[in-house]
Structure 1
Amino acid sequence: MENKRVILAVALSFAVLLGWQYLFPQQPAPLKQEQTTNQVQSNANVAGPVSSQLPDPASTAAIVSAKGTKLTVETPFYSAVVNSQGGLLENFMLKKFKATIHADSPPVDMVGANALNKAPMGLILNGIATWSEGVWGFEGSNLNLDGDKVGTLVFRGDVEGFRIERRLTFHADNYLIDEDVRIINMSNPSGMGRLAFTTATKSLTSKDDRYNPTRISWYGPEGLNEEKDRDDLSEKGVTASGNINWTAIDSNYFILALVPGSADVTMKGKLQDDIFRVAAEQNVSFDKGVERRLSCSYYFGPMDATLMAKVPGNLDKAIDFGWFDIIAKPLVVALEWFNQYVHNYGISIILLTIAIKILFWPLSHKSYKSMEQMKRLQPMIAKLREKYGDDREALNKETMQLYKTYSVNPAGGCIPMVLQIPVFFGLYRALMGTVSLRHADFIHFLPFTDIVWLADLSTKDPLYITPIIMGATMFLQQKMTPSAGDPTQQKIMMFLPLVFTFMFLNFPSGLVVYWMVNNVLSIAQQWMMMRKVND
């Protein structure tokens, strides 16, 4: 009875956890805004109060395309267009990622047509939208890079008494763009000022996607911070000052990041007209005739840990799986290792499931053995109930003595289930946040048909076949499990497969495949144990 209650409690807790995750996705931690009054070093002296608002360039940026020359940058990873009028980024197409699973789908555009009006990669100097002011020229030509080559474009402009040079370096083997900026105050009366590196993009995900929202994030001494509430981003935006390593617009799969070269900046983020904008601003002294040099790195691409680790400022910390990070990341490594041999993430998930099952095999063996022992003790426990009646204290004492005499752990049957819950959620977070699993194909068409089936393991099974099979295997497993306890408890346990099936309907199909295969392996293990006991 006690063993059955423990299993029931664990199973119900698991159901509650799943239901809570489904109905109420994890909310971000309260914003941590770090304020500082430090003087910036050498060429970045304090320039007075910093505005929390980004200037709105919508009225002028739309004419940029007509004024400037469009320069293209081609690499194995992306195709980009940069406008010579201030060095604005007009588009950034990822060659290795499609917008949808359809064969004729266009590549993912990290900017979007409407975002040009918010000036991606625009410099803001003392509140001046540099791309819409002054006269700009450029040095270089269209770039076509491959291998480990790098290429540079140089943009020079005179803006309200400031001479500006932007030197953008593109890398063929990464999504990284390095920028060096030189500014000379030729005639502007301002000796103090501020410079902001900025970027902007359309929403990277559907507005109503609560499992994969577009958010604004930043990283500093206190770790990773993020804001994904669209109302807050529209009304107030976010601001944080101090030693900010980077700030970004990101989703589960893609990121547009600014990595400032200065150690002391103010990051700002806002949602305007359904366009996400971020800026990394720093205070700078602009004495006349003195050249000031500043730098920033950009990363516009997938949430790829290997590539992001090559970017300064710990940008790879943007990949975070929450509470289950310590479990999810090793699972991702294991999946990638299997996939380099089988080249199919569905098969990789099956192999990972087998590996996990082998790891838990001794515990599962002890679990089934414990349940068989508990079943044999039920007649003795029934006699104890008859003997002690309503005397719960005496009944519990004698029951525990009975367990001790026969060396039975009443909770032994649920230990494997308890241990697999973190693995389950770790894999769930991995599937929802690993870009290599986005649009990962398993069985593209339903066998003997042209109906698209498991063409994307990061989304639900469109035909609901796998969750139904998963529920059936769970039901069969329940039927095979040694039952002990009153009929009411048994009915509740038999009802759980239906509950789980309902919750799994909208889970990533890769996760359902994992649980389904795990059930099949558990059934096989139980069958082997039952044969051994009966022989």
Structure 2
Amino acid sequence: MEQKRLVLALILSTIILFGWQYLLRRYYPEQPIVETTQQTASNTPLPSPQNNVASSPPQQFEVSTGSTDATPQQTITVATPLYDVKLDSRGAVATSWVIKKNKDTERPLYSVAGDKRNPQPLELISAEGLRREPRETPLRLITGDASLDAALSSGNYSVSENGSSSGEVRLELQPGESKQVDFTLRDEVSGLDVTKSFTFKADSYQVDLGVKIAQNGQVIPGVKLAVGPS
């Protein structure tokens, strides 16, 4: 069966994606998560979870996380001239996304929470979402099956970049460079096979994300990508 590939082009700014989620949480706290995935270069919104349940109840999966728990947890920091990103191998999600400067003006950017005497970094990821249990992190996968979602968000993914004994990996991108970082999650007992591939570009806020998710060789339908916390 042909593998399904979900591709998300993330154009980062203070009011798009995570910044937009911040505004929604502040002024419209009851709004649901905005989730967007695409199979081509154009955005294609997915049906709401309620519609998915009404038309085709999600299949229940038995997932064993024993093998994924044995994988050491790592933190991958990708530093570019424009932004710094921290990715956690637990769930293969972003836990920090700091915009450092305006690409056009070259001026540094800071959060409105600070001032001239005490500038604060322009952090796009909600600290509140990170404190929740389970964590509501950007770029986590949602299938509608509780056990499968727990495995996807809490399992330790293997990372294509080898870390130090401390579990820390730092990648410095110079102007003109790009870097792909792959996260894989495989469980022999359940047959779960997941790959999340991030491609970062030093000269652009755009980040490409490719996702492949299957179980026992069959593509898992109705997978969504969460942009931020609800």
Q: TM range, normalised to the smaller chain?
A: 0.5 to 0.7
| Equivalent pair of 2:90/2:154 in contact (CA under 8 Å) | no
> Could you tell me which residue of structure 2 aligns to residue 103 of structure 1?
117
Equivalent residue letter for 2:110: K
Q: CA 1:184–1:74 in structure 2 vs 1: closer, same or farther (change >3 Å)?
A: same
Q: Name the SS for the 2:128 alignment partner.
A: helix
Q: Indicate which of 99, 118, 133 corresponds to 2:136.
A: 118
How much does 1:134 deviate?
A: 4.4
Distance in 2 (alpha carbons) for counterparts of 1:72 and 1:191: 30
1:264-288 C-alpha deviation (Å, 9 max, x unpaired) = xxxxxxxxxxxx44xxxxxxxxxxx
1:98-151 C-alpha deviation (Å, 9 max, x unpaired) = 123323212111003222221211112353324435452111242111212111
| Equivalent pair of 1:134/1:158 in contact (CA under 8 Å) | no
How much does 1:79 deviate?
A: 1.2
- TM-score of the pair, normalised by structure 2: 0.53
Q: CA 1:72–1:134 in structure 2 vs 1: closer, same or farther (change >3 Å)?
A: closer
Q: Name the SS for the 1:199 alignment partner.
A: coil
Q: Name the SS for the 1:154 alignment partner.
A: strand
Equivalent residue letter for 1:113: A
1:311-338 C-alpha deviation (Å, 9 max, x unpaired) = xxxxxxxxxxxxxxxxxxxxxxxxxxxx
Are 1:175 and 2:205 counterparts? yes
How much does 1:155 deviate?
A: 0.3
105-114 vs 125-134, which moves further: 125-134
> Could you tell me which residue of structure 2 aligns to residue 165 of structure 1?
195
Distance in 2 (alpha carbons) for counterparts of 1:172 and 1:122: 23
Distance in 1 (alpha carbons) for counterparts of 2:170 and 2:120: 22
Q: CA 1:90–1:167 in structure 2 vs 1: closer, same or farther (change >3 Å)?
A: same
Q: Which runs of 5+ in 2 are unaligned?
A: 1-38, 40-46, 55-68, 102-108, 162-168
> Could you tell me which residue of structure 2 aligns to residue 153 of structure 1?
181
Between Structure 1 and Structure 2, which shows a larger proportion of helix residues? 1
Distance in 1 (alpha carbons) for counterparts of 2:139 and 2:174: 23
Q: CA 1:139–1:191 in structure 2 vs 1: closer, same or farther (change >3 Å)?
A: closer
Equivalent residue letter for 1:124: I
Equivalent residue letter for 2:80: T
> Could you tell me which residue of structure 1 aligns to residue 153 of structure 2?
132
Equivalent residue letter for 2:212: R
Are 1:199 and 2:227 counterparts? yes
> Could you tell me which residue of structure 2 aligns to residue 77 of structure 1?
82
Equivalent residue letter for 2:77: T
> Could you tell me which residue of structure 1 aligns to residue 52 of structure 2?
50
| Equivalent pair of 2:213/2:220 in contact (CA under 8 Å) | no
How much does 1:93 deviate?
A: 1.2
Q: Name the SS for the 2:159 alignment partner.
A: strand
Equivalent residue letter for 2:185: G
How much does 1:91 deviate?
A: 0.7
Q: Name the SS for the 1:155 alignment partner.
A: strand
Equivalent residue letter for 1:166: K
Distance in 2 (alpha carbons) for counterparts of 1:154 and 1:122: 15
Distance in 2 (alpha carbons) for counterparts of 1:157 and 1:125: 15
| Equivalent pair of 2:77/2:86 in contact (CA under 8 Å) | yes
How much does 1:80 deviate?
A: 1.2
| Equivalent pair of 1:122/1:197 in contact (CA under 8 Å) | yes
Q: Name the SS for the 2:221 alignment partner.
A: strand
Distance in 1 (alpha carbons) for counterparts of 2:171 and 2:196: 16
| Equivalent pair of 2:214/2:220 in contact (CA under 8 Å) | no
Distance in 2 (alpha carbons) for counterparts of 1:79 and 1:109: 10
1:377-405 C-alpha deviation (Å, 9 max, x unpaired) = xxxxxxxxxxxxxxxxxxxxxxxxxxxxx
- TM-score of the pair, normalised by structure 1: 0.24
Alignment of 1:14-25 (within 5 A): none
Between Structure 1 and Structure 2, which shows a larger proportion of strand residues? 2
Distance in 2 (alpha carbons) for counterparts of 1:90 and 1:191: 27
Distance in 1 (alpha carbons) for counterparts of 2:219 and 2:139: 25
Measured on the aligned residues, the alpha-carbon RMSD in Å equals 3.1
1:148-183 C-alpha deviation (Å, 9 max, x unpaired) = 211111100026432011110011111111011223
| Equivalent pair of 2:200/2:208 in contact (CA under 8 Å) | yes
| Equivalent pair of 1:86/1:155 in contact (CA under 8 Å) | no
Distance in 2 (alpha carbons) for counterparts of 1:192 and 1:120: 20
How much does 1:51 deviate?
A: 4.7
